[in-house]
Amino acid sequence: MKIKKTHPAIMFGDAALAVLVVIALVVCTALFAPMRYAPDDRFFEKGWATDNNGYAKEGADVERLISVRPTPLQIEYSDMGYYSFIHYGMNTFTDREWGTGEEDPAQFNPTKVDTDQWVRVLKESGSQGVIFTVKHHDGFCLWPSAYTEHSIKNSPYMDGKGDIVKQVSDSCKKYGMKFGIYLSPWDMHEETYGTDAYNDFFVNQLTELCTNYGELFAIWFDGAKGEDAPDFEYDLDRYFAVIRELQPNCVIANQGPDVRWIGNEAADTRESEWSVISRGSESAEAIEARSQQNADDTSKLQAVASDAEDVGSREVVLQYKTLAFKPAEADVSIRKGWFYHESEDNTVKSAETLTDMYYRTVGGNAFFLLNVPPNKEGVIAEPDVQALQAFGKQIADDFSKPIENAAVMVGNANDMRQNEQAGALLNGDTSYMFEDNAYILDIDLEKPCTISRVVLQEDLAYSQRIEAFDVYVKTDGYYKKADACTVVGSKKICKLDENRRNPEKAEGIRIVIRQSRSNPVLRSIQLYEKP
């Protein structure tokens, strides 16, 4: 006998089916909805646990790590954030990236150099300073150096009376921008290169630049050297001593003791960008080995090398005897090349791309060094101007609505108390050191609003400490995780509006520091409302 199959709706009736559907929906909602924590939830203590992820918060290893601290100069420099490269010189006119050193100075003949336009456009983009390429590898000097004939003094520009280094310096003063220089140690024109006499030559040129152009905020030394270049050791200690004497407020970057090259020329940063690193890992030899060996050798500079993905975790740095505080600088060109080429007008990076780079670098404990090359005439080309202006506007808009008034509480899962000193973090008035096992900070807003950015800064005078933290948004008395982050350092920017598909109006923010090298010390916390 066949048994006739009966449809569930016939077996149980429409009402019973409806009940089953409702139950299923409730179960699915409970399983897949974002986890929410109420202040009195039984899960509270576990959910807000700050057990440091099992890592030690004290002991000899921890003390060793937090004893590595920046110099006052490095601390001051940490506020720079974003500044600019300008590559301009003989290569602009030969349509090359690397010259040969055999170029005729007569080839350098711009018709309307406008350094005011350069600096004005860069300032509109949000840049804080300019590092100008005063001499590239070809050895051609953009100032009338007394130590070579291969310079602007023998060019048609201003009948040999020009000094573009001075022009850029003056424009920076005019627009309130910091001024620095890039001076290539490798000089393909200078006949003494590869001998001890070259060190004297280089020091003489360095002295000219450190003496005649006002205060320099940075001197940038390239590590690039051609495969056919003589095996020659620069007297870096002597170079650095000259800078320290003549420009005591100047940082020495890349091949220098103050700021390290991030390892690529694509503004790629690590998820955890540490400033406390092994001193030996950033030797001049290591930098040179990872730098370009010829003009076309750019592929390896487009991504962080796999063997350098971690330069600062406890597991890595504690293996080394000598540690140093060296923040990372991420350099990239707005175009494909570093010098202007008309054929690359269609390679100008968009404002969206530049904004993304800004958040990866400045918002990830690194400095953003963006190169913008003027054209043969001597102005920044229109495609670059438009991208820079749109980029600057976007960043300005993102941080146009700061939240200045809120109640701040600090504590742990069982005890949260209002703290006046922690409250001062909103204004950046004073730093705050968290107490043992009290790594939770609540910010309750005066009125609900949509928060798009949360910005944290550590007080680097106490070293870089925070290793992991979470950000929660409070809505209707409940907390939803909005972001999970690693290090803070000079600045960490959390973009909450991107991590939440439909961000609700928040009543407050909760920051839970999950892991830290000793007690965390914050310099400031800033919240920004969505414009």
Q: What is the pLDDT of residue 299?
A: 35
Q: What is the pLDDT of residue 504?
A: 73
Enumerate domains of the chain plus CATH numbers: 1-33 (no CATH), 44-67+402-529 (2.60.120.260), 72-398 (3.20.20.80)
| Residue from 488, 416, 429 nearest 458 by CA | 488
What DSSP string runs through 354-405? HHHHHHHHTTBTEEEEEE----TTSS--HHHHHHHHHHHHHHHHHTSSEE--
What DSSP string runs through 306-373? GGGS-SSSHHHHTT-S-EEE--EEEEEESSSSSS--GGGGGGPPPHHHHHHHHHHHTTBTEEEEEE--
Gap between the Cα atoms of 218 and 129, Å rounded: 9
First-to-last alpha carbon distance for the chain, in angstroms, is 73
Strands (E), 235-327: 251-254, 260-261, 276-278, 323-325
- Whether residue 429 contacts residue 404, with contact meaning beta carbons closer than 8 Å, is answered with no
DSSP-assigned letter for residue 479: E
What are the backbone angles phi and psi of residue 420, rounded to the nearest 5°? -65, -40
Tens digit of pLDDT at every position of the chain (531 positions): 333 333 333 333 555 454 454 455 544 444 444 444 444 443 344 457 678 988 999 999 999 999 999 999 999 999 999 999 999 999 999 999 999 999 999 999 999 999 999 999 999 999 999 999 999 999 999 999 999 999 999 999 999 999 999 999 999 999 999 999 999 999 999 999 999 999 999 999 999 999 999 999 999 998 888 888 888 899 999 999 999 999 999 999 988 899 999 888 999 999 999 999 987 644 444 444 444 444 444 333 322 233 368 889 999 889 888 899 999 999 999 999 999 999 999 999 999 999 999 999 999 999 999 999 999 999 999 999 999 999 999 999 999 999 988 999 999 888 899 999 999 999 887 899 999 889 999 999 999 999 999 999 999 999 999 999 999 999 998 999 999 999 999 999 999 976 555 667 899 999 999 999 999 999 999 999 999
Q: What is the pLDDT of residue 500?
A: 55
Chain centroid to CA 277: how far?
A: 16
- Whether residue 348 contacts residue 384, with contact meaning beta carbons closer than 8 Å, is answered with yes
Cα dihedral 482/488/490/494 (nearest 10): -10
Gap between the Cα atoms of 321 and 311, Å rounded: 14
- Give Dmax over CA atoms of the chain in angstroms: 112
Q: What is the pLDDT of residue 285?
A: 41
Paired residues of 529 in beta bridges: 451
CA angle 85, 87, 90 (to 5 degrees): 165
